[in-house]
Structure 1
């Protein structure tokens, strides 16, 4: 491993420490934006190993169903194969002050909780239900339609399903902010909460790198600018 890759790996580890939580019991820490982590070593390029292309070419054949019809009970999710689908697992990971209800095969689905939203820095009450529950949604950091345009259209079905349910690409956020983002790339949308730009940019780049996806030059600029807000370590 070269020195550049070693430093880039250190950045990713720092981000995962900042945003991932333990999966034992129900006393999990919230996914919150922090101004003091991660740190970035001087000279490290957050997009090391990510191919850059001139521009995103939007495809007209995108189908959400190509990434699976619904959430799965994936083993990559916290507590995978626990009877709860990925959405319930992410709510469990990212919310605090939770109560639970048993539904279908999920014995501990989050019934109520509080989200410290990293996108807006708002504090949001969550209550399970079609209307109230929409206040908290699960966002794909790298949107599925963006991934499709960047090359996921050529993936096998099982890889697309895995991508759609990968916890490293999922985060509970304010519903309105998720709707505002849509399938926008970083050049066109960054979280209103600028404190979260560091974590958002580094994690976004990590997902691209992990799945071998490129990024267009406009968004490469935005991601590097976001990563530049990380403290220097």
Structure 2
């Protein structure tokens, strides 16, 4: 039987290696999307006072570690991964999930599988201000999504020791995301409870309870001044409890 010419045989070997490498790469990509490494559990962790346990916010606050603020060195928004990544894999990014959860009278953009919010009305939980939302390059900024625990605050209170995956999970956690109005969000900036509280006083108990829930969930610490400010707020509402499981991580149906 005639022998295959060496150049042809060599080309066949190279093509086979490329094909096998391609399928191996696809398998790795699928696996990384299906099971990101070192992500925190979506159920309540084994920490007393964790979100979803029905614990009193004041009791959960008492269990948080109290330390000084670490340096802000090395912080950037990019340290917390891609904004609005669809970590719950429902086919819709986190920003639109939050808009659908927090706005009323919404209309959805056709052809987006009921994902993209075209318009709606927000009653800001921080100020009580009613904002008519219309999607657009300028108008969308009127309804920003607030990180309840500011990312730079988290960075200085434990997050800089996390993996990149854990920081990305944190930045896209529904417990951590709330739609609000542009003016109030700008005023808050990256402040903690010691430097900023919602101007709508009736919302402060729920706001602080959510911050406590987030810090308990992710084992972030508080400063002494932050703890004292939280205590003062919760003293006016001693029965305030941590957000329920439905408030923590669930996207709209």
TM-score range, shorter chain: 0.7 to 0.9
Task: Please give the secondary structure, in 2, of the residue aligned with 1:52.
Answer: coil
Could you report, residue by residue, the CA deviation over 1:161-180 in whole angstroms, capped at 9, with x for unpaired residues?
Answer: 00000000110001111111
Assess if the C-alpha contact under 8 Å between 1:46 and 1:227 holds in 2. Answer: no
Task: Establish whether residue 92 from structure 1 lines up as the match of residue 100 from structure 2.
Answer: yes
Could you tell me how far 1:231 is from its partner in structure 2? 5.5
Q: Distance in 1 between matches of 2:230 and 2:113?
A: 37
User: Helix, strand or coil for the counterpart of 2:116?
Assistant: strand
Change (3 A) 1:231 1:51: closer
Displacement of 1:137 in angstroms is 0.6
TM-score by length of 2: 0.71
Unaligned runs of 5+ in 1: 15-39, 76-80
Deviation at 1:13, TM superposition (A): 3.1
Alignment correspondent of 1:114:
121
Structure 2 residue aligned with 1:197: 204
**Does structure 1 conserve the Cα–Cα contact (< 8 Å) formed by 2:64 and 2:216?**
yes
> Could you tell me whether the CA contact under 8 Å between 1:74 and 1:165 is conserved in 2?
yes
What is the correspondence of 1:150-161 to structure 2 with a 5 Å cutoff? 150-161=157-168
1:31-87 alpha-carbon deviations (Å, 9 max, x no partner)? xxxxxxxxx59xx5341321011x323312101101113211111xxxxx2321000
Structure 2: 5+ residue stretches without partners = 1-47, 241-253
Structure 2 distance, partners of 1:11, 1:227, is: 18
Computing the radius of gyration from Cα coordinates, the structure with the larger value is 2
User: CA separation of 1:231/1:183 partners in 2, compared to 1, >3 Å: closer, same or farther?
Assistant: same
Higher mean C-alpha deviation, range 55-64 or range 152-161: 55-64
Determine which structure has the larger helix proportion and give its number: 2
Aligned residues: 193
Q: Deviations over 1:191-228 (max 9, x none)?
A: 11110110011110010010011000000011111212
Does the aligned pair in 1 maintain the 2:50–2:216 contact within 8 Å?
Answer: no
Say whether 1:52 aligns with 2:66: yes
Greater share of strand: 1
Q: CA deviation at 1:135?
A: 1.0
C-alpha distance 178-231 of structure 1, shift in aligned 2 (>3 A) = same
Distance in 2, Cα, partners of 1:151 & 1:10: 18
2:104 and 2:122 in contact (8 A); partners too = yes
Matched, 1:69 2:69: no
Describe the SS at the equivalent of 1:113. strand
Structure 2 counterpart SS, 1:191: coil
| Residues 84/200 of structure 1: CA separation in 2 closer, same or farther (3 Å cut) | same
* Offset, 1:186: 0.9
Aligned with 1:146: secondary structure?
helix
Once residues 87 and 193 of structure 1 are traced to their aligned partners in structure 2, the CA distance between those partners, rounded to angstroms, is 24
TM norm structure 1: 0.76
